[in-house]
Amino acid sequence: MTSALTVVVLVCLAYLVFTTVVYVTLTLIGAVESIVRRHESSSADYAGMGASRFTIPVSVVVPAFNEERVIASTTRWMLELDYPEHEVIVVNDGSSDGTLAALVEAFELEPYEAFVRRVFPHHEVRAMYRSPDHPNLVVVDKANGGKADALNAALDVARYRYVCAVDADTWFDRKALLKGMRLAVQDPAKVIGVTSHLTTARKPEEAMSAPQGRRRIDLHPLMAYQHLDFLRAFFNNRTAWSRGNYMLCSPGAFAIWRRDVLEEVGGYARTFTCEDIELTFRVHEKYLREGRDYQILCLTDNVATTEGPDTAGKLVSQRERWQRVIDETVWHYRRMWFNPRYKAVGLVGAPFYLLTEVLAPAFELLGMVALVGAIALGLFQPLTFAVMIAAIAFTNAALTASAVYFEDLQSRSYRKRDLAVLLLLTPLDFVLYRPLILWARLKGSWGFLRRDKSWNKFERNVRGAEA
């Protein structure tokens, strides 16, 4: 019994050391990428790009399900993005609230008929609307079919070569499209997908309305920890993935794709719980299998703030879904694991997901149970345990602090005082926030095993209550 427990503890410790080394390595690679991108971004000619007729037009596609309270304002915001030519296609995915009515009223929409190709699979379109004041706005009303289904309907309507899929509850930096499209414009033959860094808040519009350098971070504890979590996801992981060309998650809140690529792969998959990560895996799989030269990039510019859950229950529900999506996707593409045919994606990216995302909840739970057992049986001294916890918390805090530093270096978005508070919260992340995430991930893993595909959309936050 005791020897078995010792083995379990050692395995879990080895896993912990391994993941820590991986994260530190990724952070270092990400730091190089951040610095390079910062130099590029600081010398980028956004004014010239914004005025140039060579800047490639973009279709912004917005799936909306029960977004009555935010849809008019986010759509208006998207219409006002600083970009030479873009259209906004909002798809009302069979909402049961007044989403469509809100759009009709806000933009004085009138019904019209447009005959488009049926290239992507989706449920029936009931009606289409246009606005006399905003010729670049199209609203599609369709039967409910889920987010992927709504995105596919929007892709059928999209007129431009690049599409930018966004969430209806997300507010963008005015230059978000310019920032996102900067690299695509330089090499449209190779750059097939771009995403960028985004953050979370209860009232995203307040964060994005403030000028650069004076933006507030939502310091509600749960929001602050989510903010840190987003920073870590981008600056400790994705920037490094981008540098190694194995960017495996273009998040649904801001993902630019070349439309013909989406056409080639058959659009968004409707059989997965969520569409974004699966699509990214699928594109990699196809392009690498066919030996094609391409890039999917993650930039370090802060382009948007999305609405995040403001209670523990909502957060767990959201993260449980994210875990399920990761599990579903990584399992579905298991042929890519450690497969040299898929280059860095097969040898680094997919295994990374498997080891640090899919298996992590099991290791974390097992490790905690084994440690408690080991202490109870006297195999492990409580002092050693405390030192270990402190070491983990310190490493965790150091990684998070580096993410805060690189984000600030890149965008200089936030007030210094808010950044200081974030840094003060960092060491407690391990005990206040991580347990919640662990619980959500365990639930998600269990849901995956039970083949649960539900969405669990969280209720709107303070704005919902105010409305």
Partner 1 sequence: MTALQQLERAHHPAVQSLVHVVLDDPDERVATAAIRTLGDIGDDWAIDILIDALRKGRGPRSRVAAELEELAPAPGPRLVPLLRDWDSAVRFWAATLLGRYPNLAESSLIGLTWDQEPNVRAAAVETLGTRSGAAVGAALVARLDDGEWFVRVHAARAAGRVVGAAAAPTIARLLADPKWWVRTAAKDALRGIGTDAVPSLLSVLAHDDAFARNGAAEVLQDIGFVDFLALDDPTSLLLERIYEAGGDRYREAVAARVDDVPKQEVQAA
Rounded to 5 degrees, φ, ψ at 46 are -65, -35
Q: Give whichever of 114 and 449 is closer to partner 1, judged by the CB atom.
A: 114
Does the footprint of partner 1 cover residue 91 (CB under 8 A)? no
Q: Give whichever of 187 and 290 is closer to partner 1, judged by the CB atom.
A: 187
Which of 3, 115, 340, 451 lies at the binding interface for partner 1 (CB under 8 A)? 115
Which of 17, 21, 85, 159 lies at the binding interface for partner 1 (CB under 8 A)? 159
Rounded to 5 degrees, φ, ψ at 87 are -120, 155
- The least CB distance from residue 130 to partner 1, in Å, is 9
212 alpha-carbon distance from chain centroid: 22
- Hunting for tokens 């870590």 — which residue is that? 232
Does the footprint of partner 1 cover residue 110 (CB under 8 A)? yes
The 35-64 contact track toward partner 1, x by CB under 8 A, reads -x--xx--x-x--xx-xxxx----------
Residue 377: how many other CB atoms lie within 10 Å: 12
The span of 70-78, 179-187, 316-324, 406-414 binding partner 1 (CB under 8 A) equals 179-187
- The least CB distance from residue 295 to partner 1, in Å, is 12
- The least CB distance from residue 33 to partner 1, in Å, is 12
- The least CB distance from residue 4 to partner 1, in Å, is 54
Q: Give whichever of 53 and 451 is closer to partner 1, judged by the CB atom.
A: 53
The span of 87-95, 147-155, 181-189, 273-281 binding partner 1 (CB under 8 A) equals 181-189
Does the footprint of partner 1 cover residue 450 (CB under 8 A)? no
- The least CB distance from residue 120 to partner 1, in Å, is 13
Does the footprint of partner 1 cover residue 293 (CB under 8 A)? no
Does the footprint of partner 1 cover residue 32 (CB under 8 A)? no
Instruction: Note whether 301 and 238 are within 8 A (CB).
Output: no
- The least CB distance from residue 51 to partner 1, in Å, is 8
* # of chain residues touching partner 1 (CB under 8 A): 24
Q: Give whichever of 43 and 96 is closer to partner 1, judged by the CB atom.
A: 43
Long-range Cβ contacts of 204-207 (<8 Å, 24+ apart) = 204/169, 204/170, 204/171, 204/304, 204/305, 204/306, 204/307, 205/73, 205/77, 205/171, 207/171, 207/305
Does the footprint of partner 1 cover residue 127 (CB under 8 A)? yes
Which of 13, 16, 185, 398 lies at the binding interface for partner 1 (CB under 8 A)? 185
How far apart are the C-alpha atoms of 271 and 269, rounded to whole Å? 6
Does the footprint of partner 1 cover residue 194 (CB under 8 A)? no
Does the footprint of partner 1 cover residue 113 (CB under 8 A)? yes
Q: Give whichever of 45 and 97 is closer to partner 1, judged by the CB atom.
A: 45
Site residues for partner 1, window 210-269 (CB under 8 A)? none
Assigned token pair, 17: 């050391």
Q: Give whichever of 290 and 293 is closer to partner 1, judged by the CB atom.
A: 293
Does the footprint of partner 1 cover residue 114 (CB under 8 A)? yes
Q: Give whichever of 112 and 455 is closer to partner 1, judged by the CB atom.
A: 112
Which of 1, 3, 96, 117 lies at the binding interface for partner 1 (CB under 8 A)? 117
Q: Give whichever of 114 and 420 is closer to partner 1, judged by the CB atom.
A: 114
Rounded to 5 degrees, φ, ψ at 345 are -65, -45
Q: Give whichever of 159 and 214 is closer to partner 1, judged by the CB atom.
A: 159
Residues that bind partner 1 (CB under 8 A): 36, 39-40, 43, 45, 48-49, 51-54, 110-115, 117, 127-128, 159, 185-187
